[in-house]
Amino acid sequence: MNVLVLNCGSSSVKFQVVQTDLDLISKDADKRLASGVIERVGSESLIAFSAEGRPKFRTAEPLRDHRAALDRILRWVVAKDSGVPEVSSLSDIHAVGHRVVHGGEKFTMGVLIDDAVVDGIEDTIELAPLHNPANLKGIMAARELLGPGVPQVAVFDTAFHSTMPETAYLYALPYQLYRRYKLRRYGFHGTSFRYLAYRYRLMTGKKPKDVNIVALHLGNGASACAIKGGESVDTSMGMTPLEGLVMGTRGGDMDPAVAEFLHHREGMSFEQVDTLLNKQSGLLGISGLTNDMRELLEEEKENGDRRARLAIDIFCARVRKYIGAYLAQMGGADAVVFTGGIGENSAEVRARVCKGLEWMGLTLDAARNKAAVGGKDAEVSSAASRLKAFVIATNEELLIARDAVRIIKGAPRRW
Ligand code: AMP
């Protein structure tokens, strides 16, 4: 089956076309046929598409909304000169898999989308006002453009964390707020963490129940996950993605009284505080330069910029703190696993995160660590390290495509 995987953000649409099926999944032989992104949906949009193995097609044109963006993607995918293998008309798209950010307590697994599921996703908008409306737009656009005959599946970022115990997901707020609003921690990056657990299992030959790792998704958004017995038992993001690690533009953990302070002293509304915490904090806020880790590392190296260094150091210290916390909660683990743009590509950040962790049995192999960049999966700890370290390039789209196939074919969801 050819599955169109869609990840709709508020002003962007990312896609992949993945060829997969139950036999290909069992052989780990599924193939990506095409991928791409449209940014700045709603104005002069930036388009970058590529068929597998072909140079990128780039252009800019006005695309008014998510429907127009999806229409542009579909027209490109089926066009002869795009060179997407196996796809020459819309009938060659057999299913759509949507990344949906928030599933609330309702969705603990991926589901086939029908009207009740759409209603359920609408019900969680209160918990994810920035994300779920865009996901719904993508679902509606795909329904309209591909027709009701093409099954659509929703895969939720929160779902993998539905196994967290109450001790991890409840905030220490008055309990009735949880009862009334389901106000609790949910966690995100779940599909990425599930992929890491799966790939780690393949790399080490372990059974799912023997996967005990601290997983670190370090990208522009960043979170940590304690995976015990193959299941999420704690994660650093909360009711929204604001909590936990330092991120590109989010500050992560902080005293909630900061909001009231800013309201009084800066005259900020709660909306302005929300924007500050989501868009102006984190690496960008501390450095005053950029939210981009690669640029900060260059700035630190070439110009010795003090605040660039501070931003990187605070980022690494927070990650280290979570590794320690999760190892304590889990009673130890077998490995720390890095992924995300930073985790997959920056040997420097990995080394700084792990610095000083030798006492608890984690030592990196400098040469292996340096070599593990650019999407390569590798063990990067030294042979003597008791706690291992791995780099695994995440692939959420692949899991979404696989989930779509399994759900449509009624096959039980496996790893
Ligand atoms: P993501 O959100 O997963 O795409 O990750 C984006 C982040 O990864 C940005 O902060 C990038 O600067 C960072 N990144 C990508 N490549 C590198 C690299 N080679 N070294 C350091 N950071 C990188």
Share of the chain above pLDDT 90, in %: 97
CA atoms within 13 A on the CB side of 190: 29
Please give the distance, rounded to the nearest whole angstrom, from the Cα atom of residue 343 to the centre of ligand 1: 8
Domain ranges for the chain: 2-156, 208-391
Pocket of ligand 1 contains residue 346 by CB under 6 Å: yes
Pocket of ligand 1 contains residue 117 by CB under 6 Å: no
Q: Read off the pLDDT of residues 315-340 as tens digits, 9 standing for 90 and up.
A: 999 999 999 999 999 999 999 999 99
Q: Read off the pLDDT of residues 6-60 as tens digits, 9 standing for 90 and up.
A: 999 999 999 999 999 999 999 999 999 999 999 999 999 999 999 999 999 999 9
Please give the distance, rounded to the nearest whole angstrom, from the Cα atom of residue 18 to the centre of ligand 1: 24
Substitution site in 346, 353, 397 for ligand 1 pocket (most atoms within 8 Å of beta carbon): 346
Average of per-residue pLDDT across 198-222: 97
Instruction: Could you please state the CATH topology (level 3) that the domain comprising 2-156 is classified under.
Output: Nucleotidyltransferase; domain 5 (3.30.420)
Q: Which atom of ligand 1 is nearest to the CA of 221?
A: 2
Question: pTM of the entire structure?
Answer: 0.96
Q: Read off the pLDDT of residues 362-382 as tens digits, 9 standing for 90 and up.
A: 999 999 999 999 988 999 999
Fold: same for 2-156 and 208-391: yes
Pocket of ligand 1 contains residue 341 by CB under 6 Å: yes
Pocket of ligand 1 contains residue 283 by CB under 6 Å: no
Pocket of ligand 1 contains residue 218 by CB under 6 Å: no
Pocket of ligand 1 contains residue 294 by CB under 6 Å: yes
Please give the distance, rounded to the nearest whole angstrom, from the Cα atom of residue 400 to the centre of ligand 1: 23
Q: Which atom of ligand 1 is nearest to the CA of 248?
A: 10
| Residues annotated as part of the active site | 157
Does the domain formed by 208-391 have CATH 3.30.420.270? no
**pLDDT interval class at 131 (50, 70, 90):** confident
Please give the distance, rounded to the nearest whole angstrom, from the Cα atom of residue 292 to the centre of ligand 1: 7
Q: Read off the pLDDT of residues 237-254 as tens digits, 9 standing for 90 and up.
A: 999 999 999 999 999 999
